Chain A
């Protein structure tokens, strides 16, 4: 089967005042249509840079990213990037934000879409609330709804729940799974949360410290919903932590 996203040998170097910093080193990867990939790695390893290159925000120095066999040169509305801090437009109410990316669509159809996605992310009754009147979790759900409104094929999620408290983060994970079970998308998720990666993804990509290389790929062939306490998942968690250089057994030891 032809891959949805095909990444061939991308590298990237940042030129700073203190000299060049190689961030991405010859990364190749292929993502199937509808697949959920989690990208995990030590902080500062270049995860976000990788996602930015994949989404077309930054050009790679070498290599190429193709979506549906077409080279990616600019960000497209067919692939929406969701950042850690919600980028809802504060001067628009929720409804205004949701319809932002739509144009050339008749008012009736637009209203139906708004109603559909507001209910999908559970924000009924907040149509006319402004972003600053919503909690962090609600803002992140609104951000997701705004992305889904344009019917993207790919979601690029850059630690989307990173700024939320632990409880909201757990809840958002379940929400995301529920939404994706209704509307399948290809998802690339950057995270530093091992459990998040294992609970959500079909495959987990482990990146090495800078310059980022793909160190390992872990297949998570477990049915969803996945319990965090199932033996299979705990086993995967242990091997993933080992890949990341964290030895659980020594934690808390003197």
Chain B
């Protein structure tokens, strides 16, 4: 058996074990409401057949895309300014560190007040949740650039935009990407919560609606499994980005 095969087996074995325990527990407890793994699979198939699975997944991804990209577009430049200019750091860092610990969930009432119950509210909440990890990661990335790189660039007479593009950005890129990976993870966590407020699409809606409309716990768990799988996929994509030659150097010794 080759290395990758063995890794897959190692990753799937605990999952298989969990599924078995889950099945046995449901059967043994004779629960009428909690679904077996197989019922969840049927639920997933059912949702897929009706086109609902794709619809809700697309709705959630759409909100995450907007909120997240907006956050990245603002967080990376602001983070770079904070990392490079001591004045920008002194001005903005206390604000960032004060807002950062406030859970996006706490913002829900304000989001509804400002943006109503349409798509804008969840997009705003996703923006908030992913903005801070990306600002902090980017600023830290710029502040911890090894002085010797800046010294070499200065020796070759790099200044202004060229210095930023050729040295500051690539030197900070590994930490910027890590910040973006964390930001995306948080965004995906928050979209589900945000969709539980009066909205009629998305995986969060699917979960809350399945419970409210007849205690369909098979569909609740099916929604949760889907969230887990997509989150895992998004994280793998970002990790693949971290393995590019331009970024990986930061983690080599």
Contact = CB atoms under 8 A, between A and B. Distances in A.
Chains A and B belong together in one complex: yes
Interface of A: 55, 57, 74-77, 79-81, 83, 85, 87, 89-93, 100-101, 130-132, 150
Contacts of A90: 249-250, 252
B173 A91 contact: yes
A89 B167 contact: yes
A86 B25 CA distance: 60
A100 B173 CA distance: 18
Nearest to B169: A91
Nearest to B244: A91
Nearest to A103: B162
A100 B151 contact: no
A100 B247 contact: no
Interface stretch (B48-56, B63-71, B153-161): B153-161
Given A81-B152, A89-B149, A100-B166, 17 more contacts: A55-B155, A57-B151, A57-B154, A75-B154, A75-B157, A87-B151, A89-B152, A89-B170, A90-B250, A90-B252, A91-B171, A91-B246, A91-B249, A100-B156, A130-B245, A131-B249, A132-B252
Given A76-B157, A77-B157, A91-B171, A132 B249 contact: yes
Nearest to A102: B156
Q: How large is the interface on B (under 10, 10 to 19, 20 to 34, 35 or more residues)?
A: 20 to 34
A101 B156 contact: yes
A150 B156 CA distance: 8
A183 B152 CA distance: 22
B165 to A, nearest CB: 12
A77 B162 CA distance: 15
B148 interface: yes
Interface string B139-181: 0000000101101101111000000001100110100000000
Given A85-B148, A87-B149, A91-B171, A80 B155 contact: yes
16 contacts: A57-B154, A76-B157, A77-B155, A77-B156, A80-B156, A81-B151, A83-B148, A87-B151, A89-B149, A89-B170, A89-B171, A90-B250, A90-B252, A93-B245, A101-B156, A130-B249
A134 to B, nearest CB: 12
A81 B156 CA distance: 10
Contacts of A76: 155, 157
Most A CB within 10 A of own CB, among B148, B173, B253: B148
A92 B166 CA distance: 10
B26 to A, nearest CB: 51
Contacts of A77: 155-157
Contacts of B245: 91, 93, 130
Contacts of B151: 57, 81, 83, 87
